[in-house]
A and B are shown apart, each in its own frame.
Chain A
């Protein structure tokens, strides 16, 4: 990891990583700035750079105005941003994000996406786990799809989509009986399908006139994910 041998050099590796856990473990009776201060010490930032490191983390997480607010007075989104800021005080080379947007409103999720993207554009390596497939498609340079602990596919999101689901998907709505019919017809025609809850998606119907009425939409990573990991969660 980062050129360090594990587990012997794990401490040196940890010094250059930032970890954002899924469960919030901030010190809730402390202020935003105090939480960051503690981590500048834990990550061994020299006395001279501490104040600057805290400022930078506050700016990145857009929490400058909240520096003196106690954590238990922050909203869920602010807490999550602080959790990320806390992992960045020491300018890590690698940031580990464990489902950073789970349980957040769409607006807050977009804020975090912007933050993560800013970090990426600054050249920090980010390893992020998520089960929001849209998030992986938007943010990731490389995606690795896991199923039951096994890696089943890896590559840039666009390549994976093209390879497994083609350009376009035909989504057919109807009664359950009708959906089953469409599914078997498509299967007989050698097309890949996936269920989309209320509809059936026929993958890879690129351009050619598939003889069934439905809504066309661009293929996405979720199609690939469901296709590769199975329709039902075992």
Chain B
């Protein structure tokens, strides 16, 4: 093998070939498990819709001015985003770091931690952008009327998914064992999940919970999706997009910090 006279391209930060390399790995892997993950992300929101739609729906016909199936059908988009981003990010990152040692292999290639984390988050966000729409499509089968605004729902789901993916990677970066995730799921994700306005409007909650909801990225996602489908609320929604973007950028840097600490000794 003749020594290849290497052209020396500038190797800087966040290079496209490095991001592509990590993404290709995810896409190729996805081809081996897409059936199960598509199944669970389709069946899960359907069950929520059926359980809440028919269960609550028989008690309450209208919530916050919407038919209940419309209310839940749009709300569970955020749930699907959370479930297809924060959870895979937490568990996937930990497994790839701790058990499969995938990250050792990737970082031996010309890929830096920053690029690795960014590419992983982009990939999870993209999946969340797609899977996030499933509840809405299911709800359409149950009577949600189509609207033009629905076309931006994948984008909203993508932005929120990026933030939650970075959140999950951050948690995995700080966690020393799988058991640590229990604290996060119980103390952080479950409360945020419940005070997001998914299944009932937060106006029904006490004042302190309403304030808490306003700093809950999941709530912003719920509201944005609902407004995309039924009509935007001007500046309030711009602020919500801003909040989601800020959440994403903050957690992105935090995830890189956490993983650099963990992967580079």
* Interface residues of A, Cβ cutoff 8 Å to B: 9, 11-12, 14-17, 19, 21, 23, 25, 27-30, 34, 37-39, 41-44, 86, 91, 93, 119, 122-124
Contact = CB atoms under 8 A, between A and B. Distances in A.
B29 A42 contact: no
Contact of A11 (B3, B100, B105, B112): B112
Interface stretch (B15-23, B83-91, B183-191, B195-203): B15-23
Interface in B141-183: none
B235 interface: no
A91 B33 CA distance: 31
A37 B29 CA distance: 11
B4 interface: yes
B116 to A, nearest CB: 10
A11 B13 CA distance: 10
12 contacts: A11-B112, A25-B102, A29-B33, A38-B25, A39-B109, A42-B22, A42-B106, A43-B109, A44-B17, A44-B21, A123-B1, A124-B1
Taking residues whose C-beta sits less than 8 angstroms from the other chain, chain B's interface range is: 20 to 34
Nearest to B96: A25
B55 interface: no
Contacts of B102: 25, 27
A122 B1 CA distance: 5
A30 B109 contact: no
Contacts of A21: 101, 104-105, 108
Given A11-B11, A27-B29, A27-B102, A16 B112 contact: no
Contacts of A11: 11, 110-112
A15 to B, nearest CB: 4
B124 to A, nearest CB: 17
B47 interface: no
A93 B3 CA distance: 6
Given A12-B8, A25-B100, A30-B28, 20 more contacts: A9-B11, A11-B110, A11-B111, A11-B112, A14-B108, A14-B109, A16-B6, A25-B102, A25-B105, A27-B100, A29-B33, A37-B24, A38-B24, A41-B21, A42-B18, A42-B21, A42-B24, A42-B25, A44-B21, A123-B2
Nearest to B111: A42
Q: Is the interface of B mostly helix, strand, loop or mixed?
A: helix
B32 interface: yes
Interface string B128-152: 0000000000000000000000000
Contacts of B33: 29
Interface in B13-65: 17-18, 20-22, 24-25, 28-29, 32-33
B104 A25 contact: yes
Given A29-B29, A44-B21, A91-B4, A14 B110 contact: yes
Contacts of B110: 11-12, 14-15, 42-44
Contacts of A42: 18, 21-22, 24-25, 106, 109-111
A14 B105 CA distance: 11
A232 to B, nearest CB: 30
Given A15-B110, A30-B28, A30-B29, A25 B20 contact: no
Nearest to A37: B28
Contacts of B29: 27, 29-30
The 7 closest A-B pairs by CB, nearest first: A42-B21, A25-B101, A19-B108, A42-B109, A15-B110, A122-B1, A41-B21
B156 to A, nearest CB: 30
Contacts of A38: 21, 24-25, 28
B108 to A, nearest CB: 4
A9 B110 CA distance: 10
A25 B97 CA distance: 10
Most buried by A among B101, B109, B111: B109
A123 B109 contact: no
A198 to B, nearest CB: 39
Contacts of B32: 29-30
Contacts of A23: 101, 104
Given A21-B101, A44-B110, A123-B1, A15 B25 contact: no
A39 B20 CA distance: 11
Contacts of B109: 14-15, 39, 42-43
Contacts of A39: 109
Contact of A15 (B3, B11, B28): B11
A39 B111 CA distance: 11
A41 B22 CA distance: 8
A5 to B, nearest CB: 13
